[in-house]
Chains A and B, each alone.
Chain A
Amino acid sequence: MAWTYEQQVRLQKEFDILSQYFPNLNLVKVGTNDCIEGYMYTNDRSLYKIRLYIPTDMPYSVPEVVITYPNPVKDFYGKDLNSYGASATMHLLGSKDGYPKICTYKAERWNSNVTFYKVLIKVRLWLEALEGHIRTGQQMDYFLQHQI
Chain B
Amino acid sequence: MVNFIFVLENDIRQLYNDKLYKPIKGYAYGMDNNTVIHAFVKKPITPPSGNIINVTFHLCDINEFRNNESLYDGEIKLVFAIDEDGYLKHTAYSRQAGEANSFEIKFIPEQSELYSRSKGLLETSVLKNKTVGIVGIGSGGSPIAIELAKAGVGRFVLIDFDRLELSNVARHVCGINDLGRYKTFAVRDYILQKNPYAEVSTYEIDVNEHREICSDALSKVDLIIAASDNDKSRFFLNDLALKYNTPAIFGRAITRAIGGDVLRVRPRLGPCYNCLYSQDLRNTEEEISQKERQAKKFLPDYTSEESLNAVVQVGLASDIAPITNFMVKLALVELSRGTNSGISSLEEDLVADFYIWANRREYVYEDWSKLEYNFNKPSILRWYGAKVMKDPDCMSCGI
Contact = CB atoms under 8 A, between A and B. Distances in A.
Nearest to B212: A4
B399 A113 contact: no
A112 B396 contact: yes
A97 interface: no
Contacts of A1: none
A88 B302 contact: yes
A57 interface: yes
B317 interface: no
Contacts, number: 65
B221 to A, nearest CB: 18
Interface stretch (A21-29, A100-108, A125-133): A100-108
Contacts of B283: 109, 148
A9 B231 CA distance: 22
Contacts of B274: 111-113
Contacts of A110: 231-232
Interface in A57-114: 57, 59-61, 86-88, 93-94, 103, 106-114
Interface residues of B, number: 27
Contacts of A6: 239, 243
Interface stretch (B21-29, B196-204, B293-301, B380-388): B293-301
Contacts of A148: 283
A107 B299 contact: yes
A93 B283 CA distance: 21
Interface in B275-333: 277-278, 282-283, 297-302
Main secondary structure of the interface of A (DSSP, over half): loop
A57 B208 contact: yes
B190 interface: no
Given A13-B395, A113-B394, A93 B301 contact: yes
Contacts of B395: 10, 13, 59, 112-113, 115
A91 to B, nearest CB: 10
B301 A107 contact: no
B211 interface: yes
Contacts of B282: 109, 111
Interface string A114-125: 110000000000
B310 to A, nearest CB: 12
Nearest to B304: A88
A108 B299 contact: yes
Contacts of A109: 282-283
B16 interface: no
Nearest to A9: B399
A60 B236 CA distance: 7
Query: Among the interface residues B208, B274, B283, B301, which one has the most CB atoms of the partner chain A within 10 A?
Result: B301
Contacts of A88: 300, 302
Nearest to A90: B302
Interface of A: 6, 9-10, 13, 57, 59-61, 86-88, 93-94, 103, 106-115, 148
Can you list the 9 inter-chain pairs with the closest CB atoms, starting with the nearest?
A113-B278, A86-B301, A111-B278, A88-B302, A107-B298, A112-B235, A108-B298, A112-B274, A113-B395
Interface of B: 208, 211, 230-232, 235-236, 238-239, 243, 274, 277-278, 282-283, 297-302, 391, 393-396, 399
